[in-house]
Amino acid sequence: MSYKEIAWNGLWKNNVGLVQLLGLCPLLAVTTSVVNGVGLGLATTFVMTMSNGIVSLARNHVPHEIRIPVFILIIAALVTLTDLAMNAYVHHLYLVLGIYIPLIVANCSVLGRTEVFAAKNPVLPSLMDGLMMGVGATIVLGILGGVREAFGLGTLFSGINMVFGEAAKSWVITVVPDYHGILYAILPPGAFLGLGALLAIKNWISLHGSSKALQAENPSVSGLDSAAAFH
Amino acid sequence: MEKYFLILIGTVFVNNIALAKILGMCPFFGVTKRLEVATGMGFATAFVLTVGSGASYLIDTYLLGPDLAYLRTFSFIVAIASVVQLTEMYVKKSSPLLYQTLGIYLPLITTNCAVLGIPLLNAQENHNFIESLLFGFGGATGFSLVLVLFASMRERLEGASVPEVFKGGPIAMATASLLSLSFMGFAGLVKV
């Protein structure tokens, strides 16, 4: 598989959030704002890339029967590192994200990538795969966070001072001035509906794209790949 | 006694782990296409979550203590994976009937982030042993309740004519949104 294919796979075709529908807990729980979503997304990206790399290095030394527990321990160690680093460097964001940082361990998409990709491929493609899957997830986290924040608070990038210090307070974009906010968008129900809307848009784009591609090539490939992958 | 009762009500309805805390989404969307599968998964989760909460409490208090708190994630996941494995082995030997109902769901539970989330919340909020067990049991009961409700709704949805774009994922999310909204109605029932 070429690097271009790996990138396309991670960013769109097999996107963790939109197609595989794995790791939904962080996706739905922390996307109350862009900063929270992207913050956790980047942490997940780091863990995914590193775990893919390490698993790929170790893949010929781990007996097949006990590979899953070994992979989980590798991921748990990396998550602990991330957890400690975020506590030290972005402490306010760490407090907001709370238990969702340690819960990256239980994010099935991370274990999924090590098992599906890194356990069978050399180091460099595995690193690339982890990075692209992570970036794909981060983009979805950012978009969902943006939609919910814009509807719920009428701003974008609020809380960015948690990462870049007090000077960053002026970076907050006010989308609608004097907005009272729709609480629904910030509460859990808004997360479900927001992701539902994103999935519908993804389906629509795939359908739209495939009707053109249908005449050109493979007519059996349906655009509803996300619906089919939804077991 | 009253305190324990309030913890139960609070975790089952008010702070439902699936709809308010948003934990355990993989089984929530993964196994709710059939009602009986959802019920089986509910029972298995209830069992593992209760035992896992107790085991994690013991590890956190007697093995880790405050000095090694950063090893929580690491040791809890090992403890929970072992609990799942041991349960599966024990149930297989002792009760074939129970194994038939729970067996196939047990390995799936490791993908449920609620089984790690609840012990972490227990440790964060300094619950004692009984509180930890109740928190785990209540959380799992609430989770099972929601699984069964959601599965019933999705079975009904199967016959409905949904627009092409909304089939599968999107309509399930919209349904979950409404279910979650209705559970918001319990807010304020118990002061947590």
Rounded CA gap, A68 and A106, in Å?
Answer: 13
CA-based nearest residue in chain A for residue B109: A106
B5-9, B25-29, B153-157, B187-191: range with lowest mean pLDDT: B187-191
How many residue contacts between A and B have a Cβ separation below 8 Å?
A: 135
Give the pLDDT band (50/70/90) at residue B111: low
- Tokens standing for A90? 């972005």
Half-sphere exposure (Cβ direction) of A24: Cα atoms closer than 13 Å: 30
The SS3 call for residue B20 is: coil
Three-state SS for A22-79 is CCHHHHHHCCCCHHHHHHHHHHHHHHHHHHHHHHHHHCCCCCHHHHHHHHHHHHHHHH
Are residues B170 and B44 in contact, defined by beta-carbon separation less than 8 angstroms? no
Give the pLDDT band (50/70/90) at residue B192: low
CA-based nearest residue in chain A for residue B20: A188
ipTM of the complex: 0.86
Give the pLDDT band (50/70/90) at residue B189: confident
Chain B hits for A224, CB-CB cut-off 8 Å, are 164, 167-168
Q: What is the mean pLDDT of chain A?
A: 84
Most B CBs within 10 A among A20, A141, A199, hence the mutation to make, goes to A199
pLDDT in tens, A35-92: 999 999 999 999 999 999 999 999 899 888 888 888 989 999 999 999 999 999 999 8
pLDDT in tens, B47-83: 889 999 999 999 999 998 888 888 888 899 888 888 8
Cβ A105–B29 below 8 Å, yes or no?
A: no
pLDDT in tens, chain A (231 residues): 788 888 888 888 888 888 877 778 888 888 988 999 999 999 999 999 999 999 999 989 988 888 888 898 999 999 999 999 999 999 989 999 988 999 898 888 888 889 889 999 999 999 999 999 999 999 999 999 999 999 988 888 888 887 787 777 777 888 778 878 888 888 999 999 999 999 999 889 888 876 655 545 443 444 334 343 443
Torsion angles phi and psi, residue B67, rounded to 5: -70, -35
Q: Where are the domains of chain A?
A: 3-181, 187-231
Cβ A196–B22 below 8 Å, yes or no?
A: no
CA-based nearest residue in chain A for residue B70: A80
- What percentage of chain B reaches a pLDDT higher than 70? 96
Question: What's the confidence (pLDDT) of residue A57?
Answer: 94
The SS3 call for residue A198 is: helix
Give the pLDDT band (50/70/90) at residue B136: very high
Question: What's the confidence (pLDDT) of residue A48?
Answer: 94
Closest CA to B148 of B6, B12, B4: B12
Rounded CA gap, B1 and B159, in Å?
Answer: 46
Closest CA to A104 of A30, A193, A185: A30
- Tokens standing for A226? 């996300």
Chain B hits for A105, CB-CB cut-off 8 Å, are 73, 77, 116
Most A CBs within 10 A among B173, B182, B183, hence the mutation to make, goes to B173
* Angle, in degrees to the nearest 10, between helices B72-94 and B114-124: 130
CA of A102 vs chain B CAs: smallest distance (Å): 6
Cβ B169–A197 below 8 Å, yes or no?
A: no
Cβ A188–B71 below 8 Å, yes or no?
A: no
Give the pLDDT band (50/70/90) at residue B191: low
For residue A128, give the DSSP letter. Answer: H
Higher pLDDT, B98 or B65: B65
Between B21, B117, B181, which is nearest A189 by CB?
Answer: B181
Closest CA to B170 of A98, A171, A19, A112: A19
Chain B hits for A190, CB-CB cut-off 8 Å, are 177
Q: Which residues 6+ apart lie within 8 Å of A169 measured at CB? A: A160, A161
For residue B59, give the DSSP letter. Answer: I
